[in-house]
Structure 1
Amino acid sequence: MSDASPTKPSDGDERPQINVRVTPTFLEQIDDVWQGRGFNSRSEYIRHVLRDSVETPTFDRDELSALARAEREIRDGETYSREEIIDEFDLDTTESSEEE
Structure 2
Amino acid sequence: MDAETIAGLNDYEIKLAKLKGEFVWHTHPETDELFVVVSGRLTIRLREEDREGDVVLGPGELYVVPRGVEHCPVAEEETAVMLVEPVGTLNTGDAGGPMTRAAEPL
With the length of structure 1 as denominator, give the TM-score of the two structures: 0.24
Question: Whose helix proportion is higher, 1 or 2?
Answer: 1
Q: Name which one, 1 or 2, has greater alpha-carbon Rg.
A: 1
Determine which structure has greater relative contact order: mean sequence separation of CA pairs < 8 Å that are 6+ residues apart, divided by chain length: 2
